[in-house]
Structure 1
Amino acid sequence: MATYEEVKDVPNHPKKYLFDVRNETELKETGVLPASINIPLPELEKALNLPNEEFTKAYGREKPSPDAVLIFSCKAGGRAARAANLAGTLGYTNAKAYAGSWTEWEAKQAGN
């Protein structure tokens, strides 16, 4: 599981990936996590199976290597856990969910 502190520090670690698997309408309602790439959960398997060039073109970042750290976030953690499990089945060995996801992020940011 990824922690709030780890997610907050992602912009300082270019080899880590933060994927927000919420739908675009949810992002518009709430905002986005810094340095996150939005790939809604129903599109995740297709995205992670794209050839490198197509992934880069679609998401503006190189496709992660199988051993890259992938952190998945959603609204409350359920979809993030499913996304991390899916990435694991596709061969990504360091996929993990941010259990608190947007709900925790927003609460901790409001406290700062």
Structure 2
Amino acid sequence: RGPCGWQRRRELELASLRLAVSLAGPGSVSAVLRKLCSAAGRCVSYEELKDLKKNNIIHIDVRERWEIDRFGRIPESINIPLSELAEALQMSPGDFREQYHQKMPTKADHVVFSCLAGVRSKQALDFAVSLGFSRVQHYAGGFEEWAKREHLEKK
């Protein structure tokens, strides 16, 4: 997929967020995300993710490889596109290490998923939970928020 695919995916993710905002009534997208995340207890904020990255968490970015190549990545994240995640989380540890050059997460490891704007990472979270992963969360702000916040912090 090229930029057209990325733009379409971004449009779909933003449409999902707009729907959530419209259903929740007046308020900002971030306020709606905080409500949705706090209800589930499975969301992390930008600040929480920065703190978690100082510890032994496994951070999986489920965007497509071309998105990582073109726009960058959050440091120390493993790129496993959402389309590969089902197979990856069920691989043998040796095959996982060979494919992704990282330790395979166990069902007890603390794992945080991210994507562009929180839609695919939520799908990844739901899938991991269905497989029995107990300490999984997602970063709803995604790479878009990370890049903006990092840029502001460096000013």
Q: Which is richer in helix?
A: 2
2:126 aligned to 81, 85, 97, which one? 85
| Residue 78 of structure 2 is aligned to residue 47 of structure 1 | no
Shift of 1:10: 4.2
Size of the aligned set, in residue pairs, is 111
One-letter amino acid of the counterpart of residue 134, structure 2: T
Give the structure-2-normalised TM-score: 0.68
Where does residue 2 of structure 1 map in the other structure?
44
Normalising by structure 1, we get a TM-score of 0.93
Aligned to 2:149: 108
Q: 2:48 & 2:85 partners in 1: Cα distance?
A: 22
Between the two proteins, what is the percent identity of the paired residues?
35
Tell me which residue corresponds to 1:32.
Answer: 73
- Please state how far the C-alpha of 1:64 moved relative to its aligned partner: 1.1
Deviation at 1:8, TM superposition (A): 2.0
Counterpart residue identity of residue 4, structure 1: Y
Q: Could you tell me which runs of 5 or more consecutive residues in structure 1 were left unpaired when the two chains were aligned.
A: none
Post-superposition offset of 1:38: 0.1
Separation in 2 of the partners of 1:73 and 1:47?
16
Could you tell me how far 1:63 is from its partner in structure 2?
1.1
- Could you say which residue in structure 2 is the equivalent of 1:17? 58
Contiguous gaps of at least 5 residues in structure 2: 1-42
Q: Distance in 1 between matches of 2:128 and 2:75?
A: 21
User: Are residue 57 (structure 1) and residue 98 (structure 2) matched?
Assistant: yes
CA distance in 2, matches of 1:39, 1:50: 13
The one-letter amino acid of 1:12's match is: K
Counterpart of 1:3, as a letter, is S
Cα deviation code 1:59-108 (max 9, x no counterpart):
12211111111101000000000000001111101111101011110110
Structure whose residues are more often strand by fraction:
1
Structure with bigger RCO (C-alpha 8 Å, 6+ apart): 1
